[in-house]
Amino acid sequence: MFDPSKPTIVSTDASDYGVGAVLTQLDGNDAEHTVAFASRSLSDAERKYSIVEKEALACVWAAEKWRTWLWGRKFLLRTDHQALTTLLTTKGNNRAGLRIARWSARLLEFDYEVEYRTGSLNHVADCLSRLPLSETDMACAEDVESVAAILTDLSAVSEDDFQSGCKDCPVFTKLRVQIQKGWPARKTSLDPDLQPYFPIRHELAVLNECIIRGTHRLLVPESLQKKLTDIAHETHQGIVRTKQRLREMYWWPKMDCHIETLIKNCATCRQNDKSAVTHDAPLQPIPLPAAAWEKVSVDIIGPFEIAPSDCRFAITLVDYFSKWPEVAFAPRADAATIIQFLSVVFSREGNPKTLISDNGSQFLSAEFTDFLKSRGIQHLRSSVYYPRANGEVERFSRCIKDCLQTASIQGQPWKSFLRTYLMDYRATLHSTTGVSPSELLHGRRMRTKLQVMDIPVPQTERHTMCERVKNKQMKMKEYTDARRHAKPSNFQPGDKVRVRKPWKVKKGELKFSKPRTVMTRKGPNTYLLDDGRTWNASHLSALSELNAGTDSDTTMDCHKPGTDLASNSESDSRLRPTRMRNPPCWTQDFVMGK
């Protein structure tokens, strides 16, 4: 029997021709009880894997096979291959091969710990791995779902149970006597436990031990209210549909409050996509550096499918102060190619103080880090899956794409057309600074084919240019924040959040990750989570904390005996805004009496 509240263990093993796994849980005496078994044969390609890859495959296959019970719950992943205790965790990503690294990434959606157990003690999983299904049986088994018993308390309420609950309820005993005796004229004359039923007193009738409202709606005793709500909410359809199902057949005081409280504390509903809400974070303009070539940003465009082999990628670099761009085509976009490109540019313009990039593997490599460190360059990385943080070079990349499209339309070679484009771009006044990149970086205007006569042009003062950039950034921030309805983020360390997956998910797959914990605030809108990655607030959805008490005694406490149901409804209605009523136009010609 699978009990979500008990510790769960997944034991795996692999042989030369099969993998096996067993799902167990610990009882109160720390004894393991089996929930499910599984095994399968390895394919011809999988049999060529190394032993560590076969053992890792068994772990990944078992976790994904029992995802229904493992997702969202912490479990112990047990293996008899000690190397996997490091390779299948985040600290072992740099040591694992590509295949195991990919499998480790697939396990990131689970909350697990890897434990090593010697092969002599891992006999159950070992036996399953050596007795796999044949290929013929395995093909048939793909259509058969795993069978396991889930421990729940959602069995139907029988008529005898319902009548017994009504008979044993002290409030219902008083209510039956009051209905048969008759109701007083004033509610204050009633027992406090019966006052919530006074507004519907004329609709109540006694049927055996039960009480009916109207023609068919049963009043539910307090002992059965939570169970009936759980049954109505068994498929997690939400608050509205759960209310509709219960209102059709049942009623009790403060029923809506009870349903809302229970569903808002439902762990499954809180992890559903429809409950996750994200907001765009306010724009954070990067201040203009004090001088040219202090801060630059680099990015990679490509691959271009229709380009020649030596133009598959384009490496771009932009100076934040002067907007001076550098572009170079390359057949590949590895760390060595980027270092070679930057070395050529830096030999001509000098080393900048700061370089900004995204989180591509090329920029995270040890080779690239050592290159920047040797030149005394500070490396800043934008938030993962948030290209807006590196907007300067991302915006210029769009210009490059437009340039290459134009070259393709005109049938011109990309390299020669790009050189002409860069010359014109560097000589043109930039819309943000009002000055050409050439003048800001080199202190002179670039001479082009468009220039006929040498006429002196007054130099733009730096103070004027800086004020212009600041005003432009402020206007863009106000416009963008208003258009995106941006809201400031206020996550605190320790808060639970869910991350919106930036990639396209499969149908039926959750668009948000499992709950993560905020570790620290890295910037105005960036946060470091417990997965070791820095995320922008636009990807994060706050996970509300559970109410202080979520057991039946607390959730049932929406209505206390002696409270006035009718007065509560009236006070709630007074909080609602009243309708605006305008008199007809023809009344303007008359003097209306009050």
Q: Smallest Cα–Cα separation from 322: which of 196, 183, 466, 496?
A: 466
Could you give the angle at the alpha carbon of 191 between the alpha carbons of 185 and 194, nearest 5°? 80
Whether the pLDDT of residue 563 is over 50: the answer is no
Instruction: Write the DSSP assignment of 251-279 as a string of letters.
Output: E-TTHHHHHHHHHHT-HHHHTSGGG----
- Reported as a pLDDT band with limits 50, 70 and 90, residue 570 is very low
Q: How far is the CA of 318 from the CAs of 296, 440, 463, in angstroms?
A: 6, 13, 22
Q: Which two tokens stand for residue 289?
A: 């550096």
207/304 same-domain check: no
pLDDT at 58: 92
pLDDT at 154: 59
Q: Which of 213-217, 260-264, 375-379, 574-578 has the lowest mean pLDDT?
A: 574-578
Q: Which of 120-124, 273-277, 282-286 has the lowest mean pLDDT?
A: 273-277
Q: How far is the CA of 109 from the CAs of 70, 245, 528, in angstroms?
A: 10, 34, 18
Give the Cα separation of 480 and 496 in Å (integer): 28
pLDDT at 496: 87
Q: Which residue has the tokens 């409804």?
A: 569
Residue 241 falls inside a structural domain: yes
Query: What percentage of the chain exceeds 90 in pLDDT?
Result: 28
Q: Which residue has the tokens 């690239």?
A: 368
* Residues in CB range of 579: below 8 A, 6 or more apart: none
CA 594 to chain centre: 58
Q: Smallest Cα–Cα separation from 407: which of 423, 419, 396?
A: 419
Residue 586 falls inside a structural domain: no
Residue 205 falls inside a structural domain: yes
175/129 same-domain check: no
pLDDT at 580: 62
398-421 pLDDT per residue, tens: 999 999 999 999 999 999 999 999
Residue 82 falls inside a structural domain: yes
- Average pLDDT (276-299) is 85
Between 560 and 154, where is the model more confident?
A: 154
Whether the pLDDT of residue 431 is over 80: the answer is yes
**CB of 554 closer than 8 Å to CB of 547:** yes
- Average pLDDT (210-221) is 90
Domain count, the chain: 4
Residue 61 falls inside a structural domain: yes
pLDDT at 589: 66
Give the Cα separation of 428 and 247 in Å (integer): 70
- Reported as a pLDDT band with limits 50, 70 and 90, residue 503 is confident
- Average pLDDT (480-498) is 85
263/344 same-domain check: no
- Reported as a pLDDT band with limits 50, 70 and 90, residue 152 is very low
pLDDT at 263: 83
Burial class of residue 21, CB neighbours in 10 A (0-12, 13-18, 19+): buried
Q: Smallest Cα–Cα separation from 182: which of 193, 194, 169, 192?
A: 194
Residue 147 falls inside a structural domain: no
Give the Cα separation of 93 and 405 in Å (integer): 39
pLDDT at 573: 39
Question: What crossing angle do the helices spanning 159-168 and 222-232 adopt, rounded to 10°?
Answer: 140
Residue 201 falls inside a structural domain: yes
pLDDT at 575: 41
- Reported as a pLDDT band with limits 50, 70 and 90, residue 554 is very low
463/506 same-domain check: no
CATH code, 17: 3.30.420.10
446/313 same-domain check: yes
Burial class of residue 32, CB neighbours in 10 A (0-12, 13-18, 19+): middle
In this structure, what DSSP letter does residue 280 have? Answer: P
Phi, psi (degrees; rounded to nearest 5) at 299: -155, 165
Q: Smallest Cα–Cα separation from 230: which of 154, 164, 300?
A: 154
CA 182 to chain centre: 57
Give the Cα separation of 490 and 282 in Å (integer): 12
Residue 313 falls inside a structural domain: yes
Whether the pLDDT of residue 251 is over 90: the answer is yes
- Reported as a pLDDT band with limits 50, 70 and 90, residue 566 is very low
Query: What percentage of the chain exceeds 70 in pLDDT?
Result: 83
**CB of 172 closer than 8 Å to CB of 162:** no
Give the Cα separation of 321 and 437 in Å (integer): 9
pLDDT at 110: 87
Whether the pLDDT of residue 25 is over 50: the answer is yes
What is the average pLDDT value for the chain, to the nearest integer? 82
103/178 same-domain check: no
Q: Which two tokens stand for residue 417?
A: 């057309």
pLDDT at 587: 67
Q: Which of 153-162, 452-461, 487-496 has the lowest mean pLDDT?
A: 452-461
338/428 same-domain check: yes
Q: Which domain holds residue 24?
A: 8-141
Between 523 and 458, where is the model more confident?
A: 523
Whether the pLDDT of residue 72 is over 50: the answer is yes
Query: Long-range pairs for 443-451 at CB < 8 Å and ≥24 separation?
Result: 448/423, 448/424
Whether the pLDDT of residue 565 is over 90: the answer is no
165/134 same-domain check: no
Q: Smallest Cα–Cα separation from 317: which of 336, 291, 344, 290?
A: 344
pLDDT at 95: 65
Give the Cα separation of 66 and 489 in Å (integer): 36
444/383 same-domain check: yes
- Reported as a pLDDT band with limits 50, 70 and 90, residue 550 is very low
Give the Cα separation of 564 and 253 in Å (integer): 10
326-365 pLDDT per residue, tens: 999 999 989 999 999 999 999 999 999 999 998 888 998 9
- Average pLDDT (187-193) is 88
pLDDT at 98: 81
- Average pLDDT (20-45) is 88
87-126 pLDDT per residue, tens: 887 665 556 678 888 888 888 888 899 998 887 777 776 6
Q: Smallest Cα–Cα separation from 250: which of 211, 200, 202, 223?
A: 211
CATH code, 172: 1.10.340.70
Give the Cα separation of 406 and 64 in Å (integer): 48
Give the Cα separation of 354 and 387 in Å (integer): 18
Give the Cα separation of 200 and 202 in Å (integer): 6
404/501 same-domain check: no
Give the Cα separation of 347 and 374 in Å (integer): 14
pTM for the whole structure: 0.52
Q: How far is the CA of 399 from the CAs of 311, 359, 402, 422, 436, in angstroms?
A: 17, 22, 5, 10, 16
pLDDT at 483: 84
Q: Smallest Cα–Cα separation from 216: which of 174, 195, 256, 247?
A: 247
Q: Which residue has the tokens 């894997």?
A: 49
411/305 same-domain check: yes
418/311 same-domain check: yes
33-42 pLDDT per residue, tens: 889 888 899 9
**CB of 38 closer than 8 Å to CB of 128:** yes
